[in-house]
Amino acid sequence: MSVALNAVERMDALAEGQGGFFYPWTSTLGADDGEDAYTALVERHLSPDLSVLEAGCGHGPDVLRFAPQVARYGGYDFSEGFVRIAGARAAAAGLTNVELICSNSSAGANDGRPRIPMPDASVDMIVSRRGPTNFILDAPRVVRPGGWLIQLNPMPSPRYAWDDELPEDLRSEPARDFDMAGHICGLLAQAGLALHSSWAFDVPEYFTDARQLYAYLAWNQFHGLGLRAQPLESALPALEAVMERHAGPEGLDVRRRRYLWSSRIL
């Protein structure tokens, strides 16, 4: 019987096993999947006098990318392993304006109300690439008037037509139809904030190799539910059959979906 790991344990396992938050599969991704748009949007808002905080900084790719463009760059993450790796990478890059904290901003970890590990009115902007959404509720306390929140959120793919043909432990998670735009707007409204701009991205992600499809599906189980799937070799015949039946000329399409939004603190 597999034991489900909680969210922090999952991230610490990735920090130890992979050295960071990397997708461990190879696929062909359609252009403009939202990641570059997020980078460009954040960079348009950066300037050398700003103090910026990153929610869910992971192993620090955006720390290295954005910190050289601002006065102060803080980041927090609930995985001690990720914070350690991000700190070592920032030091190796010679960044002296970076401060990273191991902290969980969720309500459950903070007496029932989300809490950002920063003092009142201490930053000009919060950015987050696929990090937690709970920080939104505490953002008006931490971000100075006129400041921005910018986040890129993963949106689950719709349930696959071939889901029932997968081995049971590799099938879609229950939260396939999660309404990310509604979730973000609901949190902003609760925080007394409004959406400034938003964009939804939905592009093809093709698999041509059943082994890579296994890596993708097994990751979704581990990342979403914290469960380890059966070994590759036992799952392979069923996955090869799915590919044979359902892949088009470019491969089997699982979709890659993202939601990008910004909000201004007034």
Ligand X SMILES: C[S@@+](CC[C@H](N)C(=O)[O-])C[C@H]1O[C@@H](n2cnc3c(N)ncnc32)[C@H](O)[C@@H]1O
Binding site for ligand X (CB under 6 A): 11, 21, 56-58, 61-62, 76-79, 82, 104-106, 129-132, 134
Cα 259 from Cα 266, distance rounded (Å): 23
Task: State which residue, 38 or 214, has the beta carbon closest to ligand X.
Answer: 38
Cα distance between residue 29 and residue 254, in whole Å: 10
Q: How far is the CB of 169 from ligand X (least distance, A)?
A: 22
- CB closer to ligand X, 142 vs 252: 142
Q: Which of 83, 141, 78, 143 is nearest to 104 (CA)?
A: 78
Q: Of the two residues 84 and 211, which places its CB atom closer to ligand X in the complex?
A: 84
Minimum distance, C-beta of residue 96 to ligand X, in the bound complex (Å)? 22
Q: At which residue do the structure tokens 């006065």 appear? A: 71
* In the complex, minimum distance from the CB of residue 121 to ligand X, in angstroms, rounded to a whole number: 21
**Coil, strand, or helix at residue 225?**
helix
Cα-Cα-Cα-Cα torsion 66, 68, 70, 76, nearest 10 degrees, comes to: 50
Query: Across the strands, what pairs with 259?
Result: 153, 200
Least distance to ligand X, CB of residue 201, Å: 15
Alpha-carbon gap, residue 50 to 71, rounded angstroms = 5
Residue closer to ligand X by CB (options 61, 68) is 61
Q: How far is the CB of 130 from ligand X (least distance, A)?
A: 4
The first and second tokens of residue 175, run together, are 């939260």
199 versus 219: smaller Cβ distance to ligand X: 219
Q: Which residues contact 65 (CB under 8 A, 6 or more apart)?
A: 39
